[in-house]
Structure 1
Amino acid sequence: MQARRVAITGIGLISPWGGDLGDFFERLLAGESGVRHLLTDDLPRPLSTPFVSCQGFEPEVELGKPLAMMMERFAQLGTAAAFQAWAHAGLPRQPEAADAAERDTWGCIWGTALGGLSAHERGSREMWQKGRERLSPLSVVQGMNNAVNAHISIQLGLGGVSSSHTAACASSGIAIGEAFRRVRSGDADVMLTGGSDVCQSYGVVRAWEAMRVMAPGDAQTAPSACRPFSADRAGLVLGEGGAALVLEAWDHAVARGATIHGEIVGFGASCDRSHLVRPSSAGQVRALRAALADGGLEPSDIGYVNAHGTATAEGDPVEIAALREVFGDGASRLPVSATKSMHGHLLGASGAIEAVVTALALREQAVPPTAHLAGRIDPACEGVDHILQGRRRVPLQAALSNSFAFGGSNAVLALRAPPR
């Protein structure tokens, strides 16, 4: 079968600001930070760190109480985002006679780094701190990393592949790439894909603190704590969230009159094969070039790169070095921004939320900035066109979304603008 075009017909997102996709993207264009100060009453020592929370998210409202109670928060966020994307695509929740047989091949591929880790941490606390001998019978199903794709497949009647990918910060980038491949190859006409993670469990935050890559900050300084590519950057800021895309064979979408919000045209993946936590520009270059080749694109076709940009001392310069190598003389004219400066680092959900940002940038022909980069750019991160502040309206035909992970896993998605 000839390779098929793959349309984005649905987008869903649980935003730290609440609101809809339009509100989310307008806040990004304005450079508004969703970072706040997280202060807990944990023992033996409270957590006190900059963090991005989806405070307005009400799982029982979004999902209904019976379904919400069966899920850990990462699954609630992911399933709610998936339901939004499904509705945005104009697809009914329950199979209808016209598509009941089709849904036997439709599927869900999800990405998460931590999955239901919080359920296991909570169980350990209840046993060791509270002396309980028995845990909730829901502990296993709440803690499964594949809980999101399982719930989505059940609720939407998707009878095709149902799987989850865990590759640290590249988890949902890889999940989206694999879903794209299934639609393009003809294995499925429709795939629901994305990622979700919740990073504020006590053990997770303490573990990241131990690596000394977390940005400091209090109630006053937290909003500007994450400063990718800046000479004074101090580290990453963790967050939580869920984002989802409905990918659909182009002809299938057109036949049912669906609105097309963009197109995925390429996916590149690689492994650094060198170090668990130190990134390699050579591995990233391979993924970038693979995505371009897969999409039939030249570097000159790319009008924007949503960078992985975590604001760490080692990661940022390596990514810019990879972009300089791939784009050559054109790198200095390549618009680049790191939106983690505003929505935080969602670990396994990062690739999904940043794919959403990239798709919206192409749809709206506007590119968000790297917030808090008005000062001096690190000389090691120079050589590209950093978007410093305020929205930039530019004619965009194609863009890249980068996800580079501990373990050396790299994923790059290539997207095109929707038809005008």
Structure 2
Amino acid sequence: MNKVVVTGSGVICPLGADKASAFAAALEARSGIGGCPADIAARLPHVVVAQASVDPQTLLERADQGLDRATQFALVATAQAIAEAGFTCPPTDSRRVGVFVGIGFGGSQTSNSLYERFYTTLLDPNLKHKDPTVMHPLTVPRVMANAAAAAITMRYKLHGPSNTYSVACASSAIAIGEAYRAIRHGYLDAAVVVGTEAMLNAGAMLGWNALRVMAKADASDPSRSCRPFSSGRSGFVIGEGAAALVLESATRSTQRGARVLAELAGYGCSSDAQHLTAPSVDGQAHAMQQALQEAGLAPEQIQYINAHGTATDAGDVTETQSIHQAFGPAARLVAVSSTKSMHGHLIGATGALELALSIEALNSGSLPPTAHLDKPDLRCDLDYIPLRARHGCQVDAVMSNSFAFGGSNVSLIARRFAAP
């Protein structure tokens, strides 16, 4: 079995346009949550969202302007990760380098624009001279779920397998886990793994609103609207952005003298098989236990968990119980936080973003807080790092949890890399 290491990561999200600024904002408990764009506010005036801190178009070439917004985010994050990894492209072993992408709702912005144009042209009498059925010829390539993966393979000339995973909130966590397995078992030597999402448009948000899981805007301060593990929580806030990681076999990274950020050491994945939206303690605990077993770690050897922590009533209580079940007495010792309190829920991108932030915590010894947790729910009785970050911590291994609608559960473990 090959050891798998992370040699680069990149981020563009509501907390910042790069990894350093996003992690700094998280440590300061600075929220990226606020009011929503005018087209959403016109239909859903009570909704808050977490918009990316920078428009990805401003960071890309003109040729990329026509791509779907999710693909644009993916390209920005990938460029950062590849640069940090010192990854020469095209690599000489390009057939041994894969691309793995997680996305919840591919091409959401393109789809929304398609329907807006169709109905506006159809119903506006001032546009009756136009044919509503005429669409841009690249609509399908822009909207397809694997558009981001295709763009990355072509941009960097990577000829290995290109796989896209759409598993709701666990999408990019599964993409990371499957890339890890491919390298660990020798099918690949390296992979670029990306989570991306861009669904802040009226069509998608109307659907989320109907599900009744989105947070109510805080009357005094909208940035405090997402409050995981708090007695006053009301749901999550949809965000947008992307995160990317470069994974390599330890052998490959050593041969090229790459700096290693962390070893990816454990991956657990399970299905609840019981309900589309209600989570399961047993299913979540099983994913965590699998990851611990694969990493060869005891629960007390994990110092930090980046929780799924969506700020829904059932979700936060279930995750608390599942950590108790998986960690036993060590559950009282591990520090846990939900960074969604600040960057929102990026759905398909959230697993990659949260693992990237967890690796920053591993290397810095600074643990991001659960922001706005001034009134904890007594049922959520773990050490949820309320309000303020912790610095100077000894962190040797971290876990990141991603639990999805549909009952998919993923846990990832990263630890300090010990060079042979």
Q: Same fold (TM over 0.5)?
A: yes
- Aligned to 1:413, the other structure's residue is in SS state strand
Aligned length: 409
Residue 21 of structure 1 deviates from its aligned partner by: 1.9
Q: Is the 8 A contact 2:40 2:205 kept in 1?
A: no
Structure 1 residue 29 displacement after superposition: 0.9
Q: How does 1:70-89 map to 2 (within 5 A)?
A: 71-89=67-85
Q: How far 1:372 sits from its partner (Å)? A: 0.2
Q: Tell me which stretches of 4 or more aligned residues in structure 1 moved more than 6 Å.
A: none
> Secondary structure of 1:194's partner?
strand
- Confirm whether residue 196 of structure 1 aligns to residue 193 of structure 2: no
Amino acid at match of 1:262: A
Of 95, 109, 121, the residue aligned with 1:130 is 121
Give the stretch that moved more between structures: 20-29 or 292-301: 20-29
**Distance change in 2, residues 1:21/1:129 (3 Å):** same
Cα distance per residue 1:30-73 (max 9 Å; x no partner):
111111111414697355421111142242x433111332x100
Letter in 2 for 1:133: T
Partner of 1:141, secondary structure, is: helix
Contact 1:359 1:415 in 2 (8 A): yes
Greater alpha carbon shift after TM alignment, 289-298 vs 200-209: 200-209
- What is the CA-CA distance between 1:104 and the residue it aligns to? 1.2
Displacement of 1:19:
4.3
Distance change (3 Å), C-alpha of 1:313 and 1:42 = closer
Match of 1:180 in 2: 180
TM alignment of 1:86-105, pairs within 5 A: 86-92=82-88, 94-95=89-90, 99-100=91-92, 102-105=93-96
Partner of 2:354: 354
Identify the residue that residue 30 of structure 1 maps to in structure 2: 28
SS of residue paired to 1:217: coil
What is the match of residue 5 of structure 1? Answer: 3
The answer for the alignment partner of 1:112 in structure 2 is 103
Distance 1:322 1:161, change over 3 A: same
Fraction of identical pairs, as percent: 38
SS of the equivalent of 1:407 reads coil
Of residues 43, 64, 69 in structure 2, which corresponds to 1:67?
Answer: 64
In structure 1, the partner of 2:400 is: 401
Q: TM-score, normalised by structure 2?
A: 0.94
1:216 and 1:160, CA in 2 relative to 1: closer, same or farther beyond 3 A?
Answer: same
Cα distance change of structure 1 residues 56 and 25 upon mapping to structure 2, 3 Å threshold: same
Task: Work out whether residues 359 and 417 of structure 1, in 8 Å CA contact, stay in contact via their aligned partners in 2.
Answer: no
Q: Structure 2: which 5+ residue stretches go unaligned?
A: 123-131
Q: Write the deviation string for residues 270-328 of structure 1: whole angstroms up to 9, x where unpaired.
A: 00000010000010011010111111111111001000000001100000000011111
Contact 1:35 1:223 in 2 (8 A): yes
Q: Show the counterpart of 1:412.
A: 411
Q: Give the letter for the 1:80 counterpart.
A: V
Residue 118 of structure 1 deviates from its aligned partner by: 2.3
Pick closer, same or farther for the CA change 1:197–1:219 going to 2, 3 Å.
Answer: farther
Rate the CA distance shift 1:256–1:340 in 2: closer, same or farther, 3 A.
same
1:385 aligns with 2:376: no
Q: How far apart in 1 are the matches of 2:396 and 2:281?
A: 26
Unaligned ranges ≥5, structure 1? none
Work out whether residues 50 and 218 of structure 1, in 8 Å CA contact, stay in contact via their aligned partners in 2.
no
How far is 1:121 from its partner? 2.1
> For the residues of structure 2 that align with 1:43 and 1:343, how far apart are their CA atoms?
20
Looking at structure 1, the residues matched to 256 and 165 of structure 2 have their Cα atoms a distance apart, in angstroms, of 30
Partners of 1:4 and 1:36 lie apart in 2 by 44
Q: Answer yes or no: is the 8 Å Cα contact 2:39–2:202 preserved in 1.
A: no
Whether the aligned pair in 1 keeps the contact of 2:234 and 2:312 (CA below 8 Å) is yes
Whether the aligned pair in 2 keeps the contact of 1:34 and 1:342 (CA below 8 Å) is yes
